[in-house]
Structure 1
Amino acid sequence: MIDSSPLTQLPWAGPAAGSARPCVQDVHRALTYAQLEDEARAFAEQLDELGIRQGDVIGIMLPNSVELVVATLGAWIRGVVATPINPTLTAREVSYQLEDSRARLLVGAAMEGVDVPSLAADELRRSATSRDAITVDPDRLALLVYTSGSTGSPKGVMLDHRNLEAMATSMAQHFGLTASDHALLVLPLFHVNSICVTLLAPFTVGARVTVLERFAPRSFVDAMERFQPTYFSAVPAIFAHLAALPADERVETRRLRFAVCGAAPVSPELLQRCESRFGMSITEGYGLTEATCASACNPVSGIRKPGTVGPALPGQRIRVVDPRGEDVPTGERGEVAISGPTVMRGYLNRIEATAEAIPDGWLRTGDVGILDEDGYLRIVDRIKDMIIRGGENIYPKEIESVLATHSAVLEAAVVGRPDPVLGEVPVAFVVLAPGAEVDADALIAHCRLGLAKIKVPVALEILDALPRNPVGKVDKPALRHSLAAV
């Protein structure tokens, strides 16, 4: 039996359902809550006619736009799972995600080398014929969001509608959102951050969303002036770009209640510079896709502790544990573990990886943190080798695997190098096969054939041998140290 409790993150189930209130807009067009529901219904009907059935998966590979929002919501009306795809991925990467998720349709431009039927954005139907009641099962999968693990193989994080409802309502509660709020969505909608913080959370209170196709300093400044939002969510690289604006550049913040910074570590000094210069209040948070988005966040009003990511969000619990899963004393380091209704159902078709990530009902994040006496969390290290470039997660193993396909490469190791704007950038170290001859530029060009631009190493060094620790594993800390010493 389907749970009848309302999923208020869905615009037809929230407080503004069916109304003429402004709902979502991009630079091309705007929809009211009633119009968004109608277009989502129309796309759901279109999916039915295309033979897409309840429980099927569709890939959505569109730039940030009203059409992307319509396609996602229409899929959910039909009972279909959406897997959002980064439009900058290569054909190899897109094919992997579509094949792994068993997607039956790609909403977006056809791509050479991708063997899945496609439907372009301008082919989405805009008017529905049915006005039947919409019923969405809270336990049905809603999203398959792909993220890489330590093996480098992208994994589909399974999030159901109940996960999204818990996250969206928690965000709305924590930030005190009301119908008068106006979110400026600047992060890509293939991330749960944008989906939850600046799209679904506003829907739960009947607020308004303006979608920017992408972040660029000039367009952002113009959007702040034109739309005068009450909040936005961004990554540290965006705040670094804002801090680097010319001294006479003004950013309109009169109606801005707060901004959110997350997805990557950020220095308190950078946030303070932006707050002082632009008169904005920035609250830092922490989370991961496997917990639907955010698990901790400093409050908008109340005690904010610079250098921390705040306390656990409503409905979630955070522990810091030792390798046995036992709590460490307050103020000591350990692995951050999370529980609550936002924790994922698991990784698609990866039982062992799911059991490793959630061994005892608590999601093990792979991050090292400290909880203080007030329950505020400070992230101090990462257990995994993940590189975070401008808020985008990059996994070295994937880059190493692509390098290994070059006939001249014997071994490869990739680590992150600190970057003042992006946080980190990938750098590769390669050992050539005996007798092989190739230069660094050729190997980087090889990476461009199979990797999205952000994953391509910014530098590559050819070594006689990779450093190794006593048990024979590549000594990545030594490689990082060599970069820091340059």
Structure 2
Amino acid sequence: MNLVSEVYRTSTEQADKVAYHFMGKDTTYKEFEDSVSRFATALKELGVEKGDHVAFLLGNTPHFIISLYATMRIGATAIPINPLYTTDEITYIVQNGDVKAAILLDALLPLVEVGLQVFPDVHSYVVCETKPDTFEKMQALPANVKEKVHSFHQLLIQTKPEVKPTMMNEDDTAIILYTSGTTGHPKGAMLTHKNLYSNARDIAKYLQIRADDRAVTTLPVFHVFALTVVVNAPLLASAQLIIVPHFSPKEIFRIGRELQPTVFAGVPTMFNFLYQFSEGDPNDLKSLRLVVSGGSSMPVSLLHNFEEKFKVRVSEGYGLSEASPVTCFNPLDRERKPGSIGTNIVNVENKVFNELGEEVPVGKVGELVVRGPNVMKGYYKMPEETAAAIRDGWLYTGDLARMDEEGYFYIVDRKKDIIIVGGYNVYPREVEETFYKNSNVLEAAVLGIPDPNLGEAVLAYVVLKEKSTTVDELHAFCKEHLVKYKCPKEIIILDELPKNATGKILRRNLKNQALSRA
């Protein structure tokens, strides 16, 4: 079994049941399946075959859901990319990911002309229309560009649906998720059909997601947390998605009032905004029965305040892209421990190891490791990194944790220098590499600092070759090369960075300096 076959089964057995609601319109499972089938056929006619890679530059719209299931249906591999990424970031992923076709929002139409030069191996672009004049703009493109561009809407209405999903091997790669890497470039985690199906199935069972649930899908669907918890798991349970293009507290309260959702998943930043929203009436969210938080640890005070105001329990969990992503969650049928990431979910095992790969005693700190059917098959074209991450069947997460006597896990610190901004992972090396692209930057050191709204923010210390470059110019340079959440909130110019005797930058000194300024 896989996600495609299970959704197909629902479309035949419960054809009139609503699969998703978007912008005031309901779409049934039968209508969803019809669109998936048509678009799968269209992709084949564009030359996309089993094993080919298809990039998605899409946000929270039905285009993403249809494209994902159509791509998996024909055995091709989806590569979701944040559509807000800069051209540099997109180019690396498209080139490294050997992308053959791309599906993108109409707002990114200018990227197609750029793509002809920087990623010429992409032979087809499917543009998803969200504005009335998009088709006219496509028709006005230069001939050499126009021949590669196709309308998502036109493909759907002009293509006949197939009858059944294509058979595929459970170990075939379904999705490659690019995660920020410590080497300065993101790594492509290869998730199989088995990985995606098992984690959606197991988290749906663990969180007791039901067929009568209505899940708010406002987390970015190109992110693995949303993909599993509020897309694949609800669809697998024959539930309904309420697709929300952008997170807005006002919109969430309106949806709560008018559509009576039962499931909400978010990152701590979202919960903080909902809690602080002065116009929000707690009664508007009274239909919620399951509320989950992930992406980063929620401050215990915020958790208690949110629960008290909205009279609903918030369950925290843990996951990472390499594990599809969920490994732990606070159980619904037992005690919830604030500050804990919970216990093993169904069919997944977590342990805490020391540096020798041995399990440490209860209460001792070590590296969190995980194994189960959800663990990736490896990093795309990175065998050495794969061997370092997966050892003796265990995925090493890079996070330091401890386990209590009842099997609840607690994240103590991050072994990696990761910064989590509003639920998004930012690796210092990637930002530092961007600074080094500036010809006047001699050295750069990047770290995370506490932020009341986003959990953490990026702080950069920079040493210049010449004093002519200003902080404002450095901010502008970052905005040109990095997506917004990776850009430093603050840039501090120093004469030199603190180093030890071997020349290694003393990040702890910089961290202490930053915290003393707070």
TM-score bracket, shorter-length normalisation? over 0.9
Q: How does 1:205-220 map to 2 (within 5 A)?
A: 205-220=237-252
Alpha-carbon distance change, 378 to 275 in structure 1, aligned in 2, over 3 angstroms = same
Distance 1:88 1:28 in 2: 25
Shift of residue 17, structure 1, vs aligned partner: 4.9
Which of 89, 105, 110 aligns to 1:93? It is 89
Task: Please tell me whether the aligned partners of residues 291 and 315 of structure 2 are also in contact (alpha carbons under 8 angstroms).
Answer: yes
Q: Which amino acid counterpart does residue 34 of structure 2 have in structure 1?
A: D
Which of 46, 50, 55 aligns to 2:51? It is 55
Q: Secondary structure in 2 aligned to 1:59? A: strand
Task: Please tell me whether the aligned partners of residues 253 and 280 of structure 1 are also in contact (alpha carbons under 8 angstroms).
Answer: no
Distance 2:255 2:161 in 1: 36
Q: Which amino acid counterpart does residue 437 of structure 1 have in structure 2?
A: S
Q: Which amino acid counterpart does residue 7 of structure 2 have in structure 1?
A: P
Pick the structure with more helix per residue: 2
Task: Please tell me whether the aligned partners of residues 298 and 305 of structure 1 are also in contact (alpha carbons under 8 angstroms).
Answer: yes
- Where structure 1 has 5 or more consecutive residues not aligned to the other structure, the ranges are none
Distance 2:277 2:436 in 1: 40
> Are 2:499 and 1:474 aligned?
no
Q: How does 1:58-77 map to 2 (within 5 A)?
A: 58-77=54-73
Percent identity of equivalent pairs: 35
Q: How does 1:419-434 map to 2 (within 5 A)?
A: 419-433=451-465
Which of 481, 487, 493 aligns to 1:462? It is 493
Alpha-carbon distance change, 436 to 341 in structure 1, aligned in 2, over 3 angstroms = same
- Where structure 2 has 5 or more consecutive residues not aligned to the other structure, the ranges are 117-121, 130-150
Shift of residue 171, structure 1, vs aligned partner: 0.9
Q: Tell me what 2:115 maps to.
A: 114
* 1:429-480 deviation digits (Å, cap 9, x = unpaired): 11112x4521111111111111111111111111111112344321112211
How many residue pairs were aligned? 481
Distance 1:60 1:248 in 2: 34
Q: How does 1:271-420 map to 2 (within 5 A)?
A: 271-420=303-452
Shift of residue 385, structure 1, vs aligned partner: 0.8
Task: Please tell me whether the aligned partners of residues 147 and 154 of structure 1 are also in contact (alpha carbons under 8 angstroms).
Answer: yes
Distance 2:42 2:14 in 1: 21
Alpha-carbon distance change, 365 to 6 in structure 1, aligned in 2, over 3 angstroms = closer
Task: Please tell me whether the aligned partners of residues 444 and 460 of structure 1 are also in contact (alpha carbons under 8 angstroms).
Answer: yes
Alpha-carbon distance change, 28 to 146 in structure 1, aligned in 2, over 3 angstroms = farther
* 1:386-445 deviation digits (Å, cap 9, x = unpaired): 110000111111111111111111111110110011011101111112x45211111111
Shift of residue 134, structure 1, vs aligned partner: 1.4
Distance 2:11 2:401 in 1: 38
Task: Please tell me whether the aligned partners of residues 4 and 69 of structure 2 are also in contact (alpha carbons under 8 angstroms).
Answer: no
Q: Secondary structure in 2 aligned to 1:272? A: helix
Shift of residue 25, structure 1, vs aligned partner: 2.1
Which of 2, 7, 12 aligns to 2:8? It is 12
Alpha-carbon distance change, 49 to 28 in structure 1, aligned in 2, over 3 angstroms = farther
**TM-score (normalised: structure 1):** 0.96
Q: Which amino acid counterpart does residue 146 of structure 1 have in structure 2?
A: Y
Task: Please tell me whether the aligned partners of residues 259 and 283 of structure 1 are also in contact (alpha carbons under 8 angstroms).
Answer: yes
Distance 1:145 1:9 in 2: 22
> Are 2:514 and 1:483 aligned?
yes
Q: Tell me what 2:481 maps to.
A: 450
> Are 2:26 and 1:30 aligned?
yes
Higher alpha-carbon deviation: 357-366 or 132-141? 132-141
Superposed CA RMSD: 1.6
Task: Please tell me whether the aligned partners of residues 39 and 70 of structure 2 are also in contact (alpha carbons under 8 angstroms).
Answer: yes
> Are 2:150 and 1:150 aligned?
no
Task: Please tell me whether the aligned partners of residues 9 and 168 of structure 1 are also in contact (alpha carbons under 8 angstroms).
Answer: no
Task: Please tell me whether the aligned partners of residues 10 and 29 of structure 2 are also in contact (alpha carbons under 8 angstroms).
Answer: no
Shift of residue 131, structure 1, vs aligned partner: 4.0
Q: Secondary structure in 1 aligned to 2:34? A: helix
Task: Please tell me whether the aligned partners of residues 4 and 72 of structure 2 are also in contact (alpha carbons under 8 angstroms).
Answer: no
